[in-house]
Structures are given as C-alpha cells and as structure tokens.
Amino acid sequence: MKRLYENALIYGRLFTVDRPHLVERYNKALEAFRLPPTKLDRFDIDRTGFSPQVAEELGDFDYLDPAGINRRFIILTPGQASLPVVHTRFSNTGGLMHEFYTANARAIHALTIKDVIYGEIEDNVSAIEDIEDLLSIEQVQFKVLSAENVLAKAAELRTLVDRLKTEPDAWRDDAMLEQMVTLAQTTGDIRSNRLVPDQVVFRHSAFWTSHFGGTYVFVDDKMTTVICDADAPGFRRSRPWQVSYLDIGDHRRVFDFLSRSGRIDLPSASWLEGGGFIDHRADLALRGLVHAIDPDADLTAADPVWLQTFVSRNAGPIREDGTYPFLNSARRELARTGRIDIRDVPHALRFQIVRGKPDHHDAWLTNRLISEYVPRDFVTLYVFNKQRFYAEYERWDDGFRGFVVETLKNTYLTDKAGLRARLFGLD
C-alpha cells in the first residue's frame, strides 16, 4: 500500500490535524468513545473524522465503526464536509454525513470554533446478523455531543433567556443573571450563533455494505432488491413478499434487473463513441490478459505495435477468454451500424458495454455493482469500488501494481471530473 499512499491513491485529500488544540479536542472525543487518546501530534482525518494513522496506532481500522453499524463521527472543522470518506462499511455513509453538514452548517461552524462535535449515526439496529437487519434500516438519526458540553449549555442558556423574557421579575434574580453570563462565556451570543443542529434525522435508501461479502440494496416504489451471495443469512427468507433476491453470481438476472429498472445506459453510439468507452475497456482487458499470459511483460512499455504482435502470437488463449475479441467486435459493429443489440451479447459480457444511467439517483451505486463484473477495468474499480480495488491490489504482483499506479496517475488523477464525465457521463 506504500506505493498507493505515495501517489495519493489511498488516503488522499484528507485534513491534517497538527495544531495542539485540535489534537486535544480529537482526544477528548476518543476518550468519550472510551478509546485511548492518540500520542500522535500530526495525523489526517476524513469527512467522518476517521484517521488512518490513528487506526494504525490503535491497531483497529474499525475504531469508529466497532460493530459495523451505528457509525461514529468526530468533527473538528466544517471544512471536513468537502473531504472524502476513506473507510466505511456502508457506501452511503459519505452521503449521510454530507447531508448532515449541509443541513446544519451554521451550527457546525459555530460549535467547532470552541469545541469538538462527536457522536453516532444511529438506527434501530445494533448488530448485523442477517439480511433482515439490513432491511430494517430505513432512516438514521445523528446523536450529536460535544466535549465541552456546549450543546447542553446553549440549551440551558436558551431556557434562561426565555425566562428573562417571559417572567416580569426575572431580571431581579442576580444568581440567574450571573449564570447566564457564565454560560455565555462558553456559548457566545446564542441569538446570532445557532449552536444546536436543526436536522438530525435522514433517510437511509439504496446502499452497498461490506456485510456478507458485499451486499447491494436497491429501493424502488413497490419493491426492494437485494443483490449478494446466495449463501448470505436471510437470503430469500426475509420479507419475500416485498423483497426480490438476486444472487450476485447470476449475471443474467442482475443485468435484467438493472435494465428493467432503468438504471443502466444500454450500448449506443450517442455515448459509447464520443467518450472512448469501448477503447478504454478493450485496452485494459487486453493488458490484463497480457499480464495473465506473461506476468513478466512490461505493460508500461507496451505500445500498440507490441500489443498487436502479442495478440497474433497468443490468439488461442485470448479467444478462449473472449473479452477482448468481443470488445473489438462491438467496436466494429458500433462503427458500422451505430448500435449494438444487447440481445445478441452473451450474458457474461453484457456488463462490458454498459454504464450506470447518469441521471438516475443510483448512478454511483449502479456503477459500483457493474465494476464487480469487469474486474480487469481497474480504473472503474478504483473510481466506484475502492474497497474491492484495494483487495485486488493486495493480490497483484509488484510489476502489475506499478502499471496500475502509473495508469491511474496518467488517466484519473490528472483530471478526475473529466474522466468521470467522459466515460460515465457524471458531473
């Protein structure tokens, strides 16, 4: 992982905590979670407050996610709202945190001037033991606390202010007035500083979770669809009257669901040609085959002439794999007719020429699911499915890791938004 870290491909764009008062506040939150304080004087945090350095120090990368549910958070600055989420068991953790930051921006800004905000994203489930537990999560509530108890003091001051306004003789109560002055020294002027978050309950809709080897939950008006390993506990048994279950290994049924529910762009020249989507998939499919057939080949130096020679000399195994010949054939058909009839494509290859429909609210989740079926496209894997990308990276040899890192540096990191727009139509 060192090479990924050095090239900002893991734990990139985080906020560096190196000011003593912020380190102290972070430790107060850790202590509130009954965790030992960090001895580090410099570390990085993501949108949720997770720190890879603190995790390594504690020997526990789930220190903010101890049960894989009810995720904890630590907020030192409102600037965390724009950071990524680098470690999570649920794909929508980042989205829920973003909604919380957006809905309570004024309160978060005011509170973090003097205090650290911490707490849990709570739901009605305390442990995930089967699919029914996942289906039971319909909304979450942010339980918000602060180390210096600013929230409670603000509420107490508000009560005293209301007494002062409504009780005719309250201004004669010197003890109450002194208490108000003391509280205001901590909270500031609560008439201009909104210190209590307004919105703490948010809807929990479609998501991926790492539980049961990776589970996808898609929510439609009349039906919820669960896609995971068929051996997951509760598969086809939890709420069968309102939940459709698909084995993630069943390419045909998963594809039919995504197509029928309008979640994918079927192949057409309107989006495939302009962005070079098939060229991208074909190039990575071929280079992945090269590495599988000849692990010692230098992929970074493999130019088109070298690759064509390799294809000629290894026609048998390349034809047997089928992916590269199919993409070449699809490219020719698209150039000739402007379309590809998906009905003529084998089920196992259909995911090679589709993407999540960009204007669908599940576009990112859909592209994540598609990446499960096109693992040689490590760029798509990295963009949408970093957990699996990192797992795959651990299995690759050093030479292939070097090629992957160089490719991501020269394609994705140079223009992230451009690549997402060009290949996937995403803003």
What share of the chain has pLDDT > 70, as a percent? 94
Give which of 254, 260, 250, 248 is closest to 215, Cα–Cα.
Answer: 248
pLDDT tens figures, 301-311: 899 999 999 99
Return the DSSP state at 297. -
Query: Which two three-digit tokens encode residue 2?
Result: 């060192």
Query: Does the structure show a pLDDT above 90 at 74?
Result: yes
pLDDT by residue (tens digit) across 133-154? 999 988 888 888 887 666 667 6
| Signed CA dihedral, 78, 82, 87, 89: sign only | positive
pLDDT value at 200 more than 80: no
Query: In which band, very low, low, confident or very high, does the pLDDT at 177 lie, cut at 50, 70 and 90?
Result: confident
| Residue 196 in this model has a pLDDT that exceeds 90 | no
pLDDT at 325: 95
Backbone region of residue 390 per phi and psi (left: phi > 0; alpha: psi in -120 to 50; beta: other values): alpha
Mean pLDDT of the chain: 90
Mean pLDDT of all residues in 219-225: 93
Query: Is the model's pLDDT at 364 over the cut of 60?
Result: yes
State mean pLDDT over 191-211: 75
User: In this structure, are residues 353 and 340 in contact, taking their beta carbons and an 8 Å threshold?
Assistant: yes
Characterize 407-422 residue by residue with b for buried, 16 or more Cβ atoms within 10 angstroms of its Cβ, and e for exposed: bbeebbbeeeeebbeb
What's the rounded mean pLDDT across residues 50-78? 95
Report whether pLDDT(327) > 80.
yes
Query: For residue 162, what pLDDT is reported?
Result: 67
So what's the pLDDT on residue 22? 97
Which residue's structure tokens are 């990575």? 284
pLDDT one-digit tens code per residue, 370-403: 999 999 999 999 999 999 999 999 999 999 999 9
For residue 40, pLDDT over 90 is answered with yes
Strands (E), 83-175: 117-122, 139-146
Name the pTM for this structure: 0.87
Tokens of 133: 């537990």
pLDDT (average), residues 204-214: 93
Is the predicted pLDDT of residue 199 greater than 90, yes or no? no
pLDDT at 198 over 70: no
**Contact criterion met (CB below 8 Å) for 421 and 383:** no
Q: What average pLDDT does this structure show over 340-358?
A: 95
